[in-house]
Chain A
Amino acid sequence: MEYIVEMENIRKEFPGIVANDNISLGLKKGEILALLGENGAGKSTLMSILFGLYKPDSGQIRVRGSDVSITNPNQANDLGIGMVHQHFKLVHNFTVTENIILGMEPKQGLTLNLRDASKKIKELSEKYRLNVDPDAVIENVSVGMQQRVEILKMLYRDAEVLIFDEPTAVLTPQEIQELIKIMKDLKAEGKSIILITHKLKEIKAAADRCTVIRKGKFIGTVNVAEKTEAEMAEMMVGRKVSFSVDKKEQEPGEKVLELQNLSVMSNHKGILGLRDFSVDVKQGEILGIAGVDGNGQTELVEALTGLRKTESGRILLNGKDISSSTIRERILSGIAHIPEDRQKRGLVLDYSVEENMILEIYNKEPYSKNYILNREAIRKHADKIIKDFDVRTGEGAVTPVRSLSGGNQQKAIVGREVDHNPDLLIAVQPTRGLDVGSIEYIHRRLVEQRDNGKAVLLVSLELDEVLDLSDRIAIINNGELIGMVKASETDEKEVGLMMTGIRKGEQS
């Protein structure tokens, strides 16, 4: 079969790092090709080069057999290449139609011709069974629908080659099934698809072939049908990986955290983001919260840590009601928090490592006395965490945190929070965007907390992570507790269904 896109010996260097080191990739017409690699392996860079966002230092790109140089997204569009970005590129207060026509607006005299565009979009939507309303405003539609708008945007531009960048990160297991079906439909219509992902299951379910890259280098291209998930994982990481976590059975102790009928407002006016939510976390256990993004996890975590006020209900920590305590008081009474977004919440990027390590305790002795900071004690504290948690820094404690890699930033946060010796550790998306080595390390540290008799609340969008680490799993949907299962007695399918709001008894 002929290749529609060929990338040969692509090399791209950024200051201090070779993002793509002679990578080659060929996409056949009418196939789904997976591009597999760890976070930071260079997948996005390679696709950004194909889409004209970056210019390669060397290498060749051929589309339909002829050499091309793609210097901006417009050229990519003209060549029939379209991309669904991981973070959707949609204007929140525009309608679906306005978003789709942006950049190639149909005109009628001086004015926009929205009516014709809307008609064409409706037809496309029906043809590919995307079920999109052209007149809906983006901020009012679901994430899944927004993704389908992005797909329509490509189809509207007559794209032949469709690039999906980590498309399933924001979807429910059921929405993922739908997306895979849509991709197969598109393939049947003759479109060629590149699927960027690090999830092996999806590759197995959707892709024909798979190109694997590791640390910027090309590893190989395989037929998906001929390889097992474990084999592809080994290609991706470079060694055998077991994704299961070693964890001894142990009997949990006293209740550390108890939520009683907790209700919390969401960001939207007048709507509860968390409703009547009751769970508890005991000493020596990891309680996982499973759910699709935006189903109340943020509200739950922020209410627990004091970043958001509770509407009703109680939060008991070691039996004491803390629901109206300040953030500082909660930290002092034994809650530690590994936040969802390490750069937005967890760290002050312009501060050094040592300053970040005292972010919550700077006003306590020995780090300060009579309002004056004690540099020496601060340095010693940071050095200890750097050593204990294997944080790789350029210049030690005075290194600006900004210059650390994502994995080391996260290790520093985990180190800081664990160092507080908390009774309850709240870990939110603790391994997002990290390489497998850092993921394993952080998983071990979380289990260690549990083994030491601490309570751990794990909130993650990665269902596998929740299933692997947790002792018990609470499933959250639309702000409500759908059910509680033991990790040893459930599987992905059951939890996945519950994540869509179907309670245990209702499953057929």
Chain B
Amino acid sequence: MKTTVNKQVIIGLISVVLGLLAGALLMLITGNNPFEGYNYLFRGGLMNIERIGNTLATATPLIFTGLSVAFAFKTGLFNIGASGQMLFGGLCATAVGLSFDMPRFILLAAMILAAMIGGGLWALIPGFLKARFNVHEVVATIMMNWISYWVIYYTVPAFFKGEFLETESRNLPAAASLKAPWLTNLFDGSFINYGLFLAVIAVILIEIILNRTILGFELKAAGYNRFSAEYAGMNVNRNIILSMVIAGALAGVGGATFYIGYASNIQIGVLPSLGFDGIAVALLGSNAPYGVFISALFFGILHSGKGFMNAMTSIPPEIGDTIIATIIYFAATSVLIEKGVNAVKAKLSGMKNKEQESVPAEGGR
């Protein structure tokens, strides 16, 4: 058990290194100095308390979308619709925030709840289609992404039009934002907000659900082998729907932390890439909640540092996305890395064996 975890960590690290190398290569090809580039990239993410705060704020929605993808994956489902779910969840939260005037705590709780329900509902449809009609969830969630995109595209200008721009909603009042003055001040005016705490709670909660509860036992059984889960009398269809709804709710809250925490309004015409980044986060974190947490922080650095790098060098900020995308590819082809790791291990143990050959062999294994 322990060895497999270690192996996952090694594979993850190698994927990251390969991704960074690919990024370096791109910088070289485009006539930039990769050392300089990475220097500014990481400094942009970490160099002072404000930037660390921003990195954490950037990582927050990624933790949620990563958890969303990972949770569905554990049940054998591919949630490629985290983008649409977080968009719709974000719309629900924003709608509540702009429409009601309540005491702050109750308002925020209502907004988060609305995001959860919105995201969950958005995932309920593909979950139901999968369970009832065996419609492949990948295609269904992609369709839901675009439906979400257009619903937001028309809903926001129609009901929550911004003061200056047609393409975004009004700004949320301070009471309806996850940002808190004490936090903002603590991190020198950064975007950090209560969303981070929600994310930490979510990580712990999902870890417990997956590994300690009978729900997790059932969901994983269905994910590993739907037929034996059925055989054992588990309600597989209910579990598929439940798993998708939980995944959607996670993405929905992720949307809330993005639109009412990191940002203060919701924009139209953008399918947030954080949903797709969630796939990378989950993959790199080998679908384990703690792994998701760490890899989301790493991607947070890349995302929050790329602007600074762009300002200080002539390297376009898309290098960050390119590196993330490359890491997914390497994580997807981890078989190759695994083979490499195994070969190195075999070589190392071969050397060990040779050393031991002088010692009389005793019993072998």
A-side residues, CB < 8 A to B, are 305-307, 326-331, 337, 339, 344-351, 355, 359-360, 362-363, 368, 371-373, 398
A355 to B215, alpha carbons, bound, how many Å? Answer: 14
- Max chain A Cβ within 10 angstroms of own Cβ: one of B214, B227, B229, B231: B231
Contact check, A398 vs B1: say whether CB atoms are below 8 A apart: yes
Contact check, A359 vs B230: say whether CB atoms are below 8 A apart: no
Whole-angstrom distance between the Cβ of A413 and the nearest chain B Cβ = 10
Contact check, A348 vs B233: say whether CB atoms are below 8 A apart: no
Contact check, B213 vs A373: say whether CB atoms are below 8 A apart: yes
Nearest to A367 among chain B residues (CB) is B214
| Given A359-B221, A368-B214: A344 in contact with B227 (beta carbons within 8 A) | yes
Nearest to B216 among chain A residues (CB) is A373
Contact check, A337 vs B231: say whether CB atoms are below 8 A apart: yes
**Further contacts, 18 of them, CB under 8 A, given A331-B233, A344-B227, A345-B231:** A307-B230, A330-B233, A331-B232, A337-B231, A347-B228, A348-B225, A348-B228, A351-B220, A359-B221, A359-B232, A360-B232, A360-B233, A362-B214, A362-B217, A371-B214, A371-B215, A372-B214, A373-B212
Other-chain contact of B233, A328, A355, A373 (Cβ < 8 Å): A328
Ranked nearest first, the 3 interchain pairs of A and B with the lowest CB-CB distance are A328-B233, A327-B233, A359-B232
Nearest to A331 among chain B residues (CB) is B233
Nearest to A350 among chain B residues (CB) is B224
A-B contacts, 16 of them at CB < 8 A, read A307-B231, A326-B233, A328-B234, A344-B225, A345-B228, A348-B221, A348-B224, A348-B228, A348-B229, A351-B224, A368-B213, A371-B213, A371-B214, A372-B212, A372-B213, A373-B217
Contact check, A349 vs B224: say whether CB atoms are below 8 A apart: yes
Whole-angstrom distance between the Cβ of B191 and the nearest chain A Cβ = 37
Hey, what's the 0/1 contact readout for B228-267 against A, CB within 8 Å counting as 1? Answer: 1111111100000000000000000000000000000000
A27 to B228, alpha carbons, bound, how many Å? Answer: 44
Whole-angstrom distance between the Cβ of A331 and the nearest chain B Cβ = 5
Contact check, B231 vs A339: say whether CB atoms are below 8 A apart: yes
Which residues of chain A are near B234, meaning CB under 8 Å? 328
Which residues of chain B are near A371, meaning CB under 8 Å? 213-215
Whole-angstrom distance between the Cβ of A364 and the nearest chain B Cβ = 10
Nearest to A341 among chain B residues (CB) is B227
Contact check, A349 vs B225: say whether CB atoms are below 8 A apart: yes
Which residues of chain A are near B230, meaning CB under 8 Å? 307, 327, 345
Contact check, B221 vs A351: say whether CB atoms are below 8 A apart: yes
Which residues of chain B are near A326, meaning CB under 8 Å? 233, 235
Nearest to B221 among chain A residues (CB) is A348
Whole-angstrom distance between the Cβ of A387 and the nearest chain B Cβ = 22
Which residues of chain A are near B1, meaning CB under 8 Å? 398
A235 to B23, alpha carbons, bound, how many Å? Answer: 64
Nearest to A345 among chain B residues (CB) is B231
Whole-angstrom distance between the Cβ of A10 and the nearest chain B Cβ = 26
Which residues of chain B are near A347, meaning CB under 8 Å? 225, 228
- Max chain A Cβ within 10 angstroms of own Cβ: one of B1, B212, B229, B233: B233
Nearest to B217 among chain A residues (CB) is A362
Nearest to B208 among chain A residues (CB) is A372
Which residues of chain B are near A305, meaning CB under 8 Å? 231
